[in-house]
């Protein structure tokens, strides 16, 4: 089975990020479609040179090469895919050994196969708390054990996917509950997964489950996902900022009864819940920010010939061990392939 993975590149650090691509080429026989999402002329030139140097690489430029939201970009790329499988992965995924031998066999058993947990995220932090109303991208499992999938590393049976998209009109975009038709709301509710907001690809995955299709998330020891390095600082929770602050800043000297009149009891309860969720997300995002900033500094130092930065201290030995291993692997990878980044 020969698979083609789409890898979307954001502007700013394309030259650095393609170092990870070289590890994927080394440890697989896959082909890769490099996708420019708003990249600069110099970055496009770099991607073209890489593609010219390998028969397993080709380049796609999103319409007008304008920066496009991830879900819309994936939906566009899916619309062009005619093979039996639609596959994609983030640009900050590093391979340290053969990885498809563990994932590809799952395609004969499941309609969607996912992998690539961020190295800064613990197993527990990838489980969606039942009370949370936003199904964010990092959550690949519900509190009851239902697989939610992800967009980090994804492999779909495109024949099943094509039928689903064409029959429902649902694609990889983010959705609010009120933006989903009643018929599909009911199917999602039957899974016990009614939420206010769904991140990229989540609704599509839930509808696969509602059809009785199997999906699976499976981490692979030879595949390492930094998680968010190409998008900078995570800003999760910002959409709740104004509404939650309206609760926080309400004059506490007012009688509780008056505060209820100002914002309404139901709204107050909802915003309080959102504030709790936002605080939890922010804690995780701090680890993400520190980790991603470190790897951006590391890649910059390697490519510019400067001393490497010190390893970050996150207070979690498991995560720090992962960061140390990926750092050592990245340094070795640059020693082997760094000259190709400057070609």
pLDDT in tens, 141-186: 999 999 999 999 999 999 999 999 999 999 999 999 999 999 999 9
Nearest to 191 by CA among 125, 157, 142, 129: 142
Do 30 and 22 meet the contact criterion of CB atoms below 8 Å apart? Answer: no
Do 120 and 319 meet the contact criterion of CB atoms below 8 Å apart? Answer: yes
Task: Give me the phi and psi of 146, to 5 degrees please.
Answer: -75, 130
Cα 113 to the chain's mean position, in Å? 14
Q: In this structure, which topology does domain 4-224 adopt according to CATH?
A: Spore Coat Polysaccharide Biosynthesis Protein SpsA; Chain A (3.90.550)
Nearest to 6 by CA among 163, 217, 151, 113: 151
Residue 68's pLDDT is 95
Whole-number Cα distances in Å, 195 to 73, 190, 281, 298, 337:
24, 12, 16, 38, 45
Residue 258's pLDDT is 47
Do 98 and 27 meet the contact criterion of CB atoms below 8 Å apart? Answer: yes
Do 88 and 6 meet the contact criterion of CB atoms below 8 Å apart? Answer: yes
Cα 129 to the chain's mean position, in Å? 19
Residue 260's pLDDT is 52
Q: Helices 317-341 and 14-26: crossing angle, nearest 10°?
A: 100
Q: Which residue has the higher pLDDT, 235 or 154?
A: 154
Mean pLDDT of the chain: 87
Which residues face 9 on adjacent strands?
Answer: 36
Residue 136's pLDDT is 96
Task: Give me the phi and psi of 171, to 5 degrees please.
Answer: -130, -150
Q: Which residue has the higher pLDDT, 248 or 63?
A: 63
């Amino acid at each position: 089975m020969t698979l083609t993975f789409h890898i979307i590149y954001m502007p700013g650090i394309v030259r650095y990020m393609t170092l990870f691509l070289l590890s994927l080429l080394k440890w697989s026989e896959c082909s890769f479609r490099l996708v420019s999402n708003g990249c600069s002329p110099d970055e496009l030139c770099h991607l073209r040179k890489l593609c010219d140097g390998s028969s397993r690489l080709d380049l796609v430029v999103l319409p007008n090469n304008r920066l496009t939201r991830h879900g819309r970009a994936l939906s566009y790329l899916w619309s062009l895919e005619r093979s039996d499988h639609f596959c994609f992965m983030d640009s900050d995924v590093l391979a340290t050994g053969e990885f498809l031998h563990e994932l590809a066999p799952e395609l004969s058993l499941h309609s969607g196969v996912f992998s690539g947990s961020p190295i800064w995220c613990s197993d527990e932090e990838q489980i969606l708390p039942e009370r949370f109303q936003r199904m964010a991208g990092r959550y690949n499992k519900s509190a009851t054990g239902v697989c939610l999938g992800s967009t980090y590393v994804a492999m779909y049976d495109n024949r099943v996917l094509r039928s689903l998209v064409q029959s429902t009109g649902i694609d990889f975009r983010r959705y609010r509950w009120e933006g989903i038709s009643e018929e599909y709301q009911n199917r999602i509710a039957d899974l016990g997964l009614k939420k206010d907001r769904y991140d990229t690809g989540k609704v599509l995955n839930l509808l696969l489950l509602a059809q009785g299709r199997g999906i699976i998330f499976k981490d692979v020891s030879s595949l390492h996902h930094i998680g968010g390095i190409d998008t900078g600082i995570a800003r999760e929770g910002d959409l709740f900022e104004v509404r939650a602050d309206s609760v926080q800043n309400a004059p506490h000297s007012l009688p509780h009864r008056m505060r209820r009149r100002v914002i309404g009891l139901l709204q107050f309860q909802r915003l309080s819940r959102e504030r709790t969720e936002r605080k939890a997300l922010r804690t995780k995002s701090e680890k993400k920010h520190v980790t991603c900033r470190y790897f951006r500094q590391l890649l910059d130092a390697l490519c510019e010939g400067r001393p490497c930065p010190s390893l970050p201290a996150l207070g979690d030995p498991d995560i720090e061990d992962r960061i140390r291993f990926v750092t050592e692997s990245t340094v070795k990878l640059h020693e082997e392939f760094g000259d190709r980044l400057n070609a």
